[in-house]
A and B are shown apart, each in its own frame.
Chain A
Amino acid sequence: MSDTLNVEGLTVHYATQEGALQALRDVALDVPPGQIVGIVGESGCGKSTLINALLQLMPENATIAAGAIRLEGEELVGASQRRLRNMRGRDIAVIFQDPMTSLNPVLTIGRQMLDIQYRETRSRAEKLRRATEMLGRVGLPDPDAKLNAYPHELSGGQRQRVAIAMAVLMRPKLLIADEPTTALDATLEVQIIELLKELQQEIGCAILFISHHLGVIAELCHRVVVMYAGEAIEEGPVADVFLRPSHPYTAKLIECDPGRMKTKAALLPSIPGDLPDLTAPPEGCIFRARCDKATDLCRTKPMPVAVTGAHWARCHFAAGAGA
Chain B
Amino acid sequence: MGHFKHTLLGRLLADPMAVFAMLIISGLVLVALFADAISPHNYAEMNLVDRFAPPSSTYWLGTDNLGRDTFSRLAQGSRIALYVALVAVSISGTIGLILGMIAGFGPRWLDNVLLFIFDTLRAYPTIILALALAALLPRGLSTVIIVVVITSFSEYGRVVRTQTLSLKNAEFILAERAMGASSARIVFHHILPNVLGPFFILAAMNLPVVITIEAGMSFLGIGVPPGTPSWGATLKDGFDFIRTTPWIIVAGGLPLILVTLGFTFLGEALRDQLDPKLRKSR
Contacts and interface: CB of A to CB of B under 8 A. Distances in A.
Contacts of B276: 105
Interface string B172-210: 101111111110010001100110010000000000000
A85 interface: yes
How many residues of A sit at the interface, in one of the four size bands?
20 to 34
B178 A104 contact: no
Contact of A57 (B177, B182, B185, B193): B177
Contact of B189 (A57, A88, A115, A148): A115
Contacts of B197: 106
Q: Which label, helix, strand, loop or mixed, suits the secondary structure of the B interface?
A: helix
Given A115-B189, A149-B1, A102 B172 contact: yes
A41 interface: no
Q: Which label, helix, strand, loop or mixed, suits the secondary structure of the A interface?
A: loop
A163 B172 CA distance: 10
B194 to A, nearest CB: 5
A113 to B, nearest CB: 11
Contacts of A101: 170-172
Given A105-B194, A115-B189, A90 B170 contact: no
Given A85-B180, A88-B180, A96 B190 contact: no
Contacts of B185: 118
Contacts of A94: 175, 178-179
Contacts of A103: 172, 175
Interface in A83-137: 85-90, 92-94, 96-98, 101-107, 115-116, 118-119
Contact of B193 (A98, A107, A116, A149): A107
Nearest to B171: A101
A98 B193 CA distance: 21
A164 interface: no
How many residues of B sit at the interface, in one of the four size bands?
20 to 34
A57 B180 contact: no
B62 to A, nearest CB: 51
A206 interface: no
B175 A96 contact: yes
A102 B175 contact: yes
Contacts of A266: none
Nearest to B108: A60
Given A57-B174, A102-B175, A86 B190 contact: no
26 contacts: A55-B177, A55-B178, A57-B177, A85-B181, A85-B182, A87-B180, A88-B179, A88-B180, A89-B178, A89-B179, A90-B180, A93-B178, A94-B178, A101-B170, A102-B171, A102-B172, A104-B193, A105-B172, A105-B276, A106-B193, A106-B194, A107-B189, A116-B179, A119-B180, A145-B1, A166-B179
Given A93-B178, A107-B189, A163-B175, 8 more contacts: A57-B178, A92-B178, A93-B179, A94-B175, A104-B172, A104-B194, A107-B193, A115-B181
A105 B276 CA distance: 10
Interface of B: 1-2, 170-172, 174-182, 185, 189-190, 193-194, 197, 276
A216 B11 CA distance: 45
A94 B180 CA distance: 11
Nearest to B178: A94
A149 B178 CA distance: 23
Nearest to B176: A104
A89 B189 CA distance: 16
Contacts of B189: 107, 115
A86 B179 CA distance: 9
Nearest to A100: B171
B29 to A, nearest CB: 28
B174 A96 contact: yes
Of all A-B residue pairs in the complex, the 10 with the closest CB atoms, nearest first, are: A89-B180, A89-B179, A88-B180, A101-B171, A94-B178, A106-B193, A102-B175, A102-B171, A104-B172, A85-B180
B192 to A, nearest CB: 10
Nearest to A95: B175
A321 to B, nearest CB: 39
Most chain B C-beta atoms within 10 Å of own C-beta, residue among A98, A106, A116 = A106
A149 B182 CA distance: 25
A89 B185 CA distance: 14
A102 B182 CA distance: 17
A92 B172 CA distance: 16
Nearest to B107: A60
